Amino acid sequence: MSITDLISILPLLVLSSAIVALMLVIAFLRNHTLTVFLTILSLASAVLSLPFSHHLKSTHITSLLIIDGYSLFYMGLIFIAALFVVILTAGYMEHRSEIKEELYIFILIATLGSAVVVSSSHFASLFLGIESLSVSLYVMIGYLRSRASNTEASIKYLVTASVSMAILLFGLSLVYAAAGSMDFSQVAVYIKNNEPNVLLTAGFALVLVGFGFKLALVPFHFWAADIYQGTSAPITGFIASVSKGAVFAAMLRLSLVTALTTYRPFFIAFAVAAVLSMFAGNFLALLQTSVKRILAYSSIANMGYLLVAFLEGGGLATRAVAFYLLGYFITILTAFGVISVFSAGTDDLDDINDYRGLAFKRPWFGGILTVALLSLAGMPLTIGFIGKFYIIYAGASSQLWLLLIILAINTLIGLYYYLRIIWVIYSSATEVKFTWTMLPPRPLLASGLVLAILIVALVWLGVYPAPVIRLIESTTAFSALAY
């Protein structure tokens, strides 16, 4: 490898070195504060190393990875989201009796796996990245072994992820058998020069089913809500943001390079998955009394919204998906951040009635959670509104009118259950089931700072998104041309 190659993958090298260093430190000295500090320092260093890679042109690292504006944008998004999750996790774990230090190693490994996923240009690296992410999540989900709900969620994730990886791997083997390569660009050349055949079509169909499981798209959403409900609040935020965002970014890159959405059967399959995910996610959320389950089904619906932009299949799709994922990361981490702060040292506050009167007992946090829910609903003056607008613009440019009508209907359905939570937040606290004196009098300073940054970004980018839109346009516009 050349010096240019090493500089290109500097963010990955920084994170890999940090994982090894953190393991050695923990082996000799167990200290929660030191571990959190080193983890934050590692992720901050990875973020600061991104400009060095960005100054270079799109670089292929062997045939496995491509470091371009597209991958660097998502790496930055993943690293910053993971940094916020680490800070929230530190506050969440501070007063718990479990051994804490190893959890941060797995957060770093999952973050590294996500970074590999978004920069993959080969099915082998894609598989290894997803596997690194998935294996780490098994441990992160079940880390609090004293809670039966965490163990149950971990087992369910293990079963679901194992099935999805088996299907994905079988699909990759069929693609390789048909095209003779697992390099995205070589597969694209084969597709361009040959008529679609049964082997290749079946292979890609299985690959997309594997992606469907990872994104919890309907009908592959089994146990998604159970996993969200049983997992610790900050780790649930990681799953909802980093894990899903990385896989969706990889699926979009694969689609752009191989022009999957131009093949009619796959276009129809994605469209059906979008419709089913929107309707099932929103209608199932209406039936829930668990805040985590509501956010889980909301996440399924949001993946359906993203598929509308995905089906545009061009440069506008990359920009719309990138901005929507940015907004979704900020919003979902804000929501789970509030849950994390109020769940420190106790079981997660999950029942919707646990938040009754929150606006009167903790006005700032009631306001933050309210704004986050309004952003998820796509209300004006929030980043969620701009994200939805971008999705609609992408769909309209491809004349996907039926999908846009369905999206509008589902947005109205989603508004109901978001407003339902908000109504509880501002309701009288006289019938509250939870003893508010059990809550910490104030969050850790770092957790409060994270929530402040997130809520400011959520509103600021909803009012003035132009700088971020320009950044996205400059970093993602040429990604498909690098092949």
Task: Give the DSSP per-residue string, 254-285.
Answer: HHHHHTGGGSHHHHHHHHHHHHHHHHHHHHHH
Let me know the angle formed at the C-alpha of 379 by 375 and 380, rounded to the nearest 5 degrees. Answer: 110
Spans of all domains in the chain:
3-482
Whole-number Å distance between alpha carbons of 258 and 75: 22
Of 272, 262, 269, 265, which is closest to residue 198 (Cα–Cα)? 265
Angle at 450 between CA 130 and CA 379, to 5 degrees: 85
Contacts of 199 (CB under 8 A, 6+ apart): 174, 177, 178
In degrees and rounded to multiples of 5, residue 100 shows phi and psi of: -105, -30
Burial class (CB in 10 A: 0-12, 13-18, 19+), 363: exposed
| DSSP 8-state assignment for residue 61 | E
Please give the pLDDT value at position 477.
65
Say what the pLDDT of residue 436 is.
45
Nearest 5 degrees, angle CA 75-CA 60-CA 10? 45
pLDDT of residue 55: 65
- Measured CA to CA, the distance from residue 447 to residue 444 in angstroms comes to 5
Residue 183's DSSP bridge partners are 122
pTM here is 0.91
Q: Are strands 59-61 and 65-67 parallel, antiparallel or unpaired?
A: antiparallel
| pLDDT by position in tens, the chain (length 483) | 677 778 888 899 999 999 999 999 998 988 888 999 999 999 999 999 888 876 666 777 788 888 888 889 999 999 999 999 999 998 888 777 778 888 999 999 999 999 999 998 899 999 999 999 999 999 999 888 777 888 888 899 999 988 999 999 999 999 999 888 888 888 888 888 887 788 888 999 999 999 999 998 988 888 888 888 888 889 999 999 999 999 999 999 988 888 888 888 888 999 999 999 999 999 999 988 888 999 999 999 999 999 999 988 777 888 889 999 999 999 999 999 988 888 766 677 778 888 888 888 888 888 999 999 999 998 988 999 999 998 999 888 888 889 999 999 999 999 999 999 999 888 875 555 444 444 554 556 788 888 999 999 999 999 998 888 888 887 776 444 454
Q: Which residues of 277-301 are buried (b: 16+ CB within 10 A; e: fewer)?
A: bbbbbbebbeebebbbbbbbbbbbb
- Residue the block writes with tokens 């959403």: 221
Question: Going by C-beta distance under 8 Å and a sequence separation of 6 or more, which residues neighbour residue 209?
Answer: 164, 167, 168, 171, 220
